[in-house]
Amino acid sequence: MTDTAKKEHKRQLKALELREQEISVAKAEIDLEIRLLDRVRHNHQHGLLLDSNTGTFRLEDAVYSEVLSLGTAMQRWGDAHPGAPLTLYIFSPGGSVLHGLALYDTLRTLSREGHEITTVIRGFAGSMASVLFLAGDVRKIGAESIIHQHEPSSMAYGKLSEMTDANEFVKTLFEKITRIYVDRTSMTRTTFRKKTVGKEWHAEAAEALALGLATEIA
């Protein structure tokens, strides 16, 4: 192969590599757009707002980043309807404590702004979802529904100091959850810890009512 042919061959290879990079970037952009469209479609099909007239919302998924959108939708609805009551239906296995605390704070803020918050469990409220249930001023649980709570888990790994810091943070989160339960129910700290430390606690409607988790069975 002559030098000229070699140069041409290298030029063609370089052009091909650039083209492959362009295709890769375009594919990544298309994938991102598809994911965004899927989320929009999901929010449309499984709308956060059930009834714009009564301010009825729902949480029917795990507690992760989507609840931030739910909190924003609630806050906007509350701003547009000063003092109007707001209802949140819950069917959720729980999830991220930090995402859940963001929504919990939003609900309690709306309550302090004059909105009566009603939370309703239909089926199951597990872990962080049960904490969100406690954000309601009025808390209704279906007769056959169940509340679940347990110790938070840590996924810490790495150096001993890093795992120690992570475990201390998990203890802080569990302390927050404990305080919410004690403040928002008739349970003492001792009672709550006995039911959840090293255990999986499942409370049916009657127990939830007796311990002040729910204000009524409905």
Q: What is the per-residue pLDDT for 133?
A: 98
Q: Which of 150, 153, 161, 202 is catalytic?
A: 150
Query: Per-residue confidence of the chain (218 residues) as pLDDT tens digits?
Result: 677 776 777 777 777 776 777 676 667 666 655 554 555 445 444 457 777 778 999 999 999 998 999 999 999 999 999 999 999 999 999 999 999 999 999 999 999 999 999 999 999 999 999 999 999 999 999 999 999 999 986 554 555 455 567 788 999 999 999 999 999 999 999 999 999 999 999 999 999 999 999 999 99
| Assigned fold of 48-217 | 2-enoyl-CoA Hydratase; Chain A, domain 1 (3.90.226)
150 belongs to the catalytic site: yes
Q: What is the per-residue pLDDT for 159?
A: 57
Sketch the domain layout of the chain as residue ranges.
Answer: 1-45, 48-217
Q: What is the per-residue pLDDT for 7?
A: 72
Q: Which of 92, 99, 127, 130 is catalytic?
A: 127
- Residue type, position 153, single letter: S
For the entire predicted model, the pTM comes to 0.76
65 belongs to the catalytic site: no
Structure-token pair, residue 102:
């963001």
Residue with tokens 């239909």: 122
* pLDDT per position as a tens digit, 76-89: 999 999 999 999 99
Q: What is the per-residue pLDDT for 40?
A: 45
